Amino acid sequence: MHVALFPNSFFQWMKLFSELKDYHTIFIQKKRLWHWQLWYLRRKRIRIIYDFDDAIMFKSPVDGGGRSFKRQRTFARMVRCSDQIIAGNQYLKSKAIPYNKNIAILPTAIDTRKYTTKDYRRSKEKITIGWIGSKSSLPFLKELTPAFDHVASQYKSVELKIICNDFFECKRMSVIKKRWALKDENADLQDIDIGLAPLPDHEWTKGKCATKLLQYLSVGIPVVCSPVGVHNEIIQEGMNGLFAASTQEWIEKVSLLIKDKALRERIGLEGKKTVEFSYSLKANIPKFISIIKEL
């Protein structure tokens, strides 16, 4: 097996192609190739496994959203020319199936060995509602500022923790700004009592594979999330998480968990079971190996 960074110049492509001459299969994650690159691989009879876990055929709502003819065209070409497609969820499969019937669904998987389960015996002065993610997704959280300020006016012992490389302020809610670092990730998640995963209902966000949601579940903390896309496949309302689709629902669901520690523990530990059974590396590596062997 040979692992390489995606080339960003013609000469790097030529170097990669020379290294591929003794290989039968290439695995490409998310990137869409040009005609000449696909032509070369087909000419050399190198089989293509194409894996994608985002709705790459659409623009992000942060970038203006909407359909993109160029993205759709290059996505369709990539899928048509591949021997096997791996889609991150059912929604993504539905976007690829018009162009190729050889599609397997393999969800985003979490290495649960990197996360330890939250110790609910430990007492804290404050209840921490928290969010982890990148700057590009932060606007989805910022839209909940009115809900956060309302919750803060009702409960004085609540704080919001943002784990990111960018931040914002609330009028009433105390905000802890923690710059993301891999070495601190498990400890930062342990400090959260209620995990948040807001998403707008958009063609692009429907394709998201819920990494942050799975991270919360991996440490056994309860989640409140938008009923969008794969969230609906992972979460069973009241069992391993709660849904919120409006400002009022966000206030109600977060408040429900703030008031009831036993409920937080029950939902959080049920979520841990969900991720171990269906979304862990242990559960999905055999499926991935099976796809490779079948091809």
According to the model, what pLDDT value does residue 207 have?
92
According to the model, what pLDDT value does residue 123 have?
85
Alpha-carbon gap, residue 214 to 240, rounded angstroms? 11
Structural tokens at position 129: 């509602």
Alpha-carbon gap, residue 271 to 274, rounded angstroms? 5
* Domain ranges within the chain, ordered by starting residue: 10-106, 112-278
According to the model, what pLDDT value does residue 65 have?
64
H/E stretch holding 73 reads helix 69-80
Strand pairing report for 47-52 and 127-132? unpaired
Alpha-carbon gap, residue 70 to 264, rounded angstroms? 45
According to the model, what pLDDT value does residue 263 have?
98
Prediction pTM value: 0.91
Helices 247-259 and 145-154 meet at what angle, rounded to 10? Answer: 40
According to the model, what pLDDT value does residue 293 have?
87
Q: The domain 112-278 is classified under which CATH number: 3.40.50.2000, 3.10.105.10, 3.40.50.2300, 3.30.70.20?
A: 3.40.50.2000
Strand partners, 86: 51, 104
Hey, which bits of the chain come out as E strands?
Answer: 25-29, 47-52, 84-87, 103-105, 127-132, 158-164, 174-179, 194-197, 223-225, 242-243
According to the model, what pLDDT value does residue 20 have?
86
Q: Do domains 10-106 and 112-278 have the same CATH topology?
A: yes
According to the model, what pLDDT value does residue 109 have?
94
Environment class of residue 137 by beta-carbon count within 10 Å: exposed (0-12), middle (13-18) or buried (19+)? buried
Alpha-carbon gap, residue 275 to 216, rounded angstroms? 10
Class of CATH domain 10-106: alpha beta
According to the model, what pLDDT value does residue 62 have?
67
> Dihedrals φ, ψ of 100, to 5°?
-165, 130
178-181 CB contacts, 8 Å cutoff, 24+ apart: 180/132
Alpha-carbon gap, residue 19 to 33, rounded angstroms? 18
The pLDDT tens digits along the chain (295 residues) read 788 889 989 899 999 988 887 889 999 999 999 999 999 999 999 999 999 999 999 987 766 666 788 999 999 999 999 999 999 999 999 999 999 999 999 999 999 999 999 999 988 889 999 999 999 999 999 999 999 999 999 999 999 999 999 999 999 999 999 999 999 999 999 999 999 999 999 888 899 999 999 999 999 999 999 999 999 999 999 999 999 999 999 999 999 999 999 999 999 999 999 999 999 999 999 999 999 888 8
